[in-house]
Structure 1
């Protein structure tokens, strides 16, 4: 059955404000809930944070006080939604446990988007990024074992493999080589715009999370690893945000943001296994339908176009968290040695890349390599977990 969010009516805005009791949601159980429920929570938190920050940026560039007031009204509700979503995460979980879940989101959400993306250039951008997030999961898993003496497969539940990807130290590139070519808003499929917004928001939230939690650790290797991967997440945000056509008007961007929130809440409502969390997705979808209606009215009034000319007439197939083991292994076997140059990709190191590598590493081992060495020294081995067989490229590339 098709679902056209532009034709649906949600909860009126003046009935969306919630009190403290309503905002005080019960968190998920970290030991018994579906790991993909936690992934949906983390992903949706990133989407809500992006909604709030985009609205603030829009307001800072908007001279119309009435529009600024309307943005502020919706933004306050979005801020409440973000608090509810993020507060679904359990306080019992450690920061490192949540970090592993963040990287599971990055791997399986980006891999799913890459599989579904119709544009070859955009697909390549997601394929490139997922191999780096995959390696981050492996590095944090070793830190997790070393500090908390726990195994990452208990967190990711065997749904996502934990083994080396493109080595993290190779992710440091010259900043200009992180800027991709944008899609063309006049011809790009609506689903491609939603994919770009989704992955950009997810990576942005990961960047924010690492920059804030990293210095809270006492262990030097933990502080160093969060610092290194936090820098790479900034590269990833640059990588994904540059895919969005900068020619989109503020009204068009607002419409796309609200439509994407409807799409994701509807997707997660359709695929959620936890009834209490599903109820949150359903409630927020009904709120977002009204936010989308407001954005569509602003778009028609100020942009002078029909919203159906920009967004899809009905929601695409639901975004689905599911294992992507074979897909990621295929990418490991064929693209592990890729890097970027300009807006493209190459399989050879080039002068600009090598110069940046020499500058950032300074002839020393980076934290992402030291964490493997330290865990091997402490545990007698490095940590990895895969479902079957050997690492698909270990013998060919000399990967750990």
Structure 2
């Protein structure tokens, strides 16, 4: 059934403030909850954090007192929403356990978006990035077993495989090669705008998370691994945020943010398996409908345009967390040797890439390789979680060798 958020009135803004008792939500059970419930929580936390950051940036450049007042009122509610959402995560989960869930989000959300993206250039951007997050999941899973003596499959279930992706070793690129060409706001489909905003927000919160939690570990290899992968997350935020057309007005951006929040809360309300969490998605959707209405009014008054001219007439099919094993194995077999050059992609290492590799690694093994070596020394092998059979990249390389010989 189609749903157009522009046709629905939400909870009036002056009735959206919650007291402490209402904000004190019950966290999910880390051992019994659906892994994808945690993924939805992490995703919506990233979306709310981006909404708050965007509103603050808008506030800093806005000269209109009335607009600033409305931004502040809505921003306070967004802050309450972020607290309710993020506090759904279980307090007893360690930083590493939450990290593994963060990377499961990065893998399966980005993979799903790449499957649904109608623009080939944008789709390639998501396919490129997901192979790197896939490798991060593998590195952290090995660290997790070393430090906490538990297996990451207990966190991700059988939904997401854990095995090497594009090696983190080769993900360090010159900053200029992390910039992509933006979509054209006047030509791209509304769905593409929502995809770009969603993945940018998810990667941004991962970058922020690693920036803050990395130094909390005492183990040298843990501190080093968070430092290395944290730098890659900076690359990913640059990669995804540069997809957004910089020519969008602040009013367009505001409306797109609010529409995207409606889209995601509605999606997760439709797909959530935990009734208590589903009720929060439904409540927040009804709040966001009012936020969207207010943003649309601002766009009409200050931008002189109708929001319907830039928004989809109804919400797209729900964003869905689901296994993406087939897609990922295909990408591993066909795109693992890609790197970037300017706004494009190449298969051969180029001078700028090689110079960056020399500068950042200094001729030594980076932490992402050391953690696998240490795991092998301690357990006799690296940690993987996958069905029987050879690694798809190994199989692909064997086929290429046989083709070249023939």
TM range (shorter): over 0.9
**Correspondence for 1:211:** 211
Equivalence map 1:72-87=2 (5 Å): 72-87=72-87
Equivalence map 1:140-155=2 (5 Å): 140-155=140-155
Unaligned runs of 5+ in 2: 399-406
**Correspondence for 1:277:** 277
**Correspondence for 1:374:** 374
Equivalence map 1:354-393=2 (5 Å): 354-393=354-393
Q: Is the 8 A contact 1:47 1:261 kept in 2?
A: yes
Displaced runs of 4 or more, over 3 A: 395-398
**Correspondence for 1:50:** 50
Cα displacement (A) at 1:389 = 1.8
Q: Normalising by structure 1, what TM-score?
A: 0.99
Cα displacement (A) at 1:388 = 3.2
Q: Deviations over 1:201-232 (max 9, x none)?
A: 00000000011000000000000000000000
Cα displacement (A) at 1:55 = 0.2
Cα displacement (A) at 1:387 = 2.1
Bigger mean CA deviation after superposition, 382-391 or 307-316: 382-391
Query: 1:340 aligns to what SS in structure 2?
Result: strand
Does residue 7 (structure 1) correspond to residue 7 (structure 2)? The answer is yes
Q: Is the 8 A contact 1:30 1:93 kept in 2?
A: yes
Q: Is the 8 A contact 1:338 1:347 kept in 2?
A: yes
**Correspondence for 2:351:** 351
Cα displacement (A) at 1:378 = 1.1
**Correspondence for 2:403:** none
Counterpart Cα distance in 2 of 1:394 and 1:358: 26
Q: Normalising by structure 2, what TM-score?
A: 0.97
Query: 1:141 aligns to what SS in structure 2?
Result: helix
Query: 1:393 aligns to what SS in structure 2?
Result: helix
Q: CA RMSD of the aligned region, Å?
A: 0.8
Q: Deviations over 1:236-274 (max 9, x none)?
A: 000000000000000000000000000000000000000
Query: 2:340 aligns to what SS in structure 1?
Result: strand
**Correspondence for 1:312:** 312
Cα displacement (A) at 1:92 = 1.1
Cα displacement (A) at 1:158 = 1.2
Counterpart Cα distance in 2 of 1:287 and 1:155: 31
Query: 1:6 aligns to what SS in structure 2?
Result: helix
Q: Deviations over 1:291-325 (max 9, x none)?
A: 00000000111111111100101000000000000
**Correspondence for 1:190:** 190
Counterpart Cα distance in 1 of 2:172 and 2:190: 32
Q: Deviations over 1:324-371 (max 9, x none)?
A: 000000000000000000000000000000000000000000000000
**Correspondence for 2:127:** 127
Counterpart Cα distance in 2 of 1:14 and 1:328: 46
Counterpart Cα distance in 2 of 1:280 and 1:24: 12
**Correspondence for 1:249:** 249
Q: Is the 8 A contact 1:158 1:387 kept in 2?
A: no
Counterpart Cα distance in 2 of 1:393 and 1:228: 24
Counterpart Cα distance in 2 of 1:158 and 1:170: 28
Q: Deviations over 1:153-177 (max 9, x none)?
A: 1110010000000000111000000
**Correspondence for 2:402:** none
Counterpart Cα distance in 1 of 2:344 and 2:300: 37
